[in-house]
Amino acid sequence: MVKAAFLGLGVMGYPMARHLKAKGHEVTVYNRTTAKAEKWVSEQGGRLAKTPAEAAAGQDIVFACVGNDDDLRQVTLGAEGAFKAMANGAVFVDHTTASAGIARELHSAASAAGFGFLDAPVSGGQAGAENGQLTVMVGGDQATFEIAQPVIMSFAKAARLLGAPGAGQLAKMMNQICIAGVVQGLAEAIHFGKQSGMDIEAVIDVISKGAAQSWQMENRYKTMNAGKFDFGFAVDWMRKDLGIVLEEGRANGAKLPLTALVDQFYAEVQAMGGKRWDTSSLLARLER
């Protein structure tokens, strides 16, 4: 068992920290809105910290799952950031979906200060976090990964080191590229079927057993067909992620025409009032 801190108790971080505590680790939590951290401690036990630095002091591993690069920089390098208090030989594991650039920046700062850093974004959504079934894509050093991996498995079904610092974030970008294309294809198929008068449930039951099968089809077609879009990953978050993808693509020369197009489709969903709808709401744009 280790002494661990968790920074950021949003829809992902809250249950991830809970799984750490349930596995017997000693857990300290920090959240920008203190009331959320107080609620977590009242439910789970553990200790509440008022700043990231206070949370990180004396810990073996510090986890973070916050909003974006700016939030991450604030909780790590800010005036009361965790990096000011990390112990020599400790490990900082970042589960934020952020840029590869900040992952490399923070790895460098951590190495200079004598502790480890892993960029480790996750896939599996809120349900994966609640059920402890996340997939974790990791960038960093092998030795650091070997220390952190058994603890990461408290809330994950798989965690793999994919390369140097930044590789975890690059893998998450690939993940989001795949999701964007699949969801758009599923939305168009359901829209096409409705326009043709097909029995959507009957058709999906058949084609989901063939080459068209996907996680999105299995888990989202019923709610899409019912016009319900309040499940899982929000459009605002997907646009943030696709923005990171497209910026990286401009930097590395990758051609991402479909990703750019779907990003604009999501912008239209936002304009329809769907900022907090889940990503399957691409269908709502087609049915306006």
Query: 145-168 pLDDT, tens per residue?
Result: 999 999 999 999 999 999 999 999
Give the pLDDT confidence score for residue 232 in this predicted structure.
80
Residue 8 pLDDT > 90: yes
Give the pLDDT confidence score for residue 144 in this predicted structure.
98
Q: What is the mean pLDDT of residues 110-119?
A: 98
Please check whether residue 119 is in contact with residue 94, taking contact to mean a CB–CB distance below 8 angstroms. Answer: yes
Q: What is the mean pLDDT of residues 243-251?
A: 98
Q: What is the mean pLDDT of residues 260-286?
A: 98
Alpha helices in 114-214 (DSSP H): 125-130, 142-152, 167-195, 200-207
Phi, psi of 196 (to 5 degrees): -90, 0
Half-sphere exposure of 252 (CA within 13 A, CB side): 13
Instruction: Tell me the average pLDDT of the chain.
Output: 97
Rounded CA separation 168/156 (Å): 15
State yes or no: is 172 an active-site residue: yes
Give the pLDDT confidence score for residue 89 in this predicted structure.
97
Q: What is the pTM of this model?
A: 0.95
Give the pLDDT confidence score for residue 249 in this predicted structure.
98
Q: How confident is the model at residue 231 (pLDDT cuts 50, 70, 90)?
A: confident
Residues 18-59 have pLDDT tens digits of 999 999 999 999 999 999 999 999 999 999 999 999 999 999
Rounded CA separation 126/15 (Å): 9
Q: How confident is the model at residue 122 (pLDDT cuts 50, 70, 90)?
A: very high
Among 36, 93, 32, which Cα is nearest to 59's?
A: 93
Q: What is the mean pLDDT of residues 253-257?
A: 98
Residue 183 pLDDT > 90: yes
Strand, coil or helix: 4? strand
Instruction: State what percent of residues in the chain have pLDDT above 90.
Output: 98
Catalytic residue, chosen from 3, 39, 172, 240, is 172
Q: How confident is the model at residue 266 (pLDDT cuts 50, 70, 90)?
A: very high
Give the pLDDT confidence score for residue 271 in this predicted structure.
98
Residues 6+ apart with CB under 8 A from 36: 9, 14
Rounded CA separation 266/269 (Å): 5
Please check whether residue 20 is in contact with residue 152, taking contact to mean a CB–CB distance below 8 angstroms. Answer: no
Q: How confident is the model at residue 78 (pLDDT cuts 50, 70, 90)?
A: very high
DSSP 255: -
